[in-house]
């Protein structure tokens, strides 16, 4: 294939609608705007959200109340059973979890270790949060837990 062989896909390019070019075009005279009225005028039309003078939806909905969602803690989570990919007595932190592919990204509040699965190797684990069951499983096998 050469550059001069390239063509646009079928229907990709459309010619612009030429308004006001005679009665035979189908969009002559009023150019598809009908007769008179606000939308027929130049600069006509209404702003987004305008409902013809009726109280618009964004003003009818109550704005009171409080949501705690913006204060929610968000952690990247890893189960204890997934940590068996590390060698015995190695240090495990957020960066090493990323490198091993156990995390896709580190959330804003850091890493939380959950207690699902069985840990078979003793590890030194540094994370922002641990569940109680995760702490028990790690320390039971001889590993250490460090909350950052």
Number of domains in the chain: 1
pLDDT digits (tens, 9 = 90+) for 17-43: 999 999 999 999 999 999 999 999 999
The predicted pLDDT at position 121 comes to 95
Give a yes or no: residue 124 inside a domain: yes
pLDDT digits (tens, 9 = 90+) for 101-127: 999 999 999 999 999 999 999 999 999
Give a yes or no: residue 42 inside a domain: no
132 in Cβ contact with 114 (< 8 Å): no
Backbone angles phi, psi at 64, to 5 degrees: -80, 170
Give a yes or no: residue 50 inside a domain: no
The CATH number linked to 122 is 3.100.10.10
Give a yes or no: residue 39 inside a domain: no
45 in Cβ contact with 39 (< 8 Å): yes
Maximum pairwise Cα distance, the chain:
89
Give a yes or no: residue 14 inside a domain: no
Looking at the predicted structure, is the pLDDT value of residue 148 above 90?
Answer: no
pLDDT digits (tens, 9 = 90+) for 44-93: 999 999 999 999 999 999 888 888 988 999 999 999 999 999 999 999 99
Give a yes or no: residue 127 inside a domain: yes
Concatenated DSSP letters of 16-67 = PP--SS-GGGSS-TTTTS-SSSGGGSTT-S--TT-BTTBPPHHHHS------
Tracing tokens 């495990």 back to the chain, one arrives at: 92
Give a yes or no: residue 52 inside a domain: no
Task: To the nearest 10°, report the CA torsion of 96, 97, 103, 106.
Answer: -60
Looking at the predicted structure, is the pLDDT value of residue 128 above 90?
Answer: yes
What's the rounded Cα separation, in Å, for the pair 133 and 116? 8
The boundaries of the domain holding residue 77 are 72-147
DSSP one-letter code for 80: G
Give a yes or no: residue 121 inside a domain: yes
């Amino acid at each position: 294939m050469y550059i001069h062989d390239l063509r646009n896909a079928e229907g990709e390019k459309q010619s612009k609608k030429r308004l006001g070019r005679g009665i035979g075009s189908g969009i002559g005279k009023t150019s598809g705007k009908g007769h008179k009225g606000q939308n027929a005028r130049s600069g006509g039309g209404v702003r987004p959200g305008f409902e013809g003078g009726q109280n618009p939806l964004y003003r009818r909905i109550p704005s009171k109340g409080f949501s705690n969602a913006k204060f929610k803690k968000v952690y990247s989570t890893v189960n204890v059973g997934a940590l068996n990919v590390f060698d015995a007595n190695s240090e495990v932190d957020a960066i090493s979890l990323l490198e091993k592919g156990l995390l896709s990204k580190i959330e804003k509040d850091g890493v939380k270790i959950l207690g699902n699965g069985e840990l078979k190797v003793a590890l030194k684990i540094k994370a922002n949060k641990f569940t109680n069951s995760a702490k028990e499983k790690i320390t039971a096998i001889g590993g250490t837990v460090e909350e950052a």
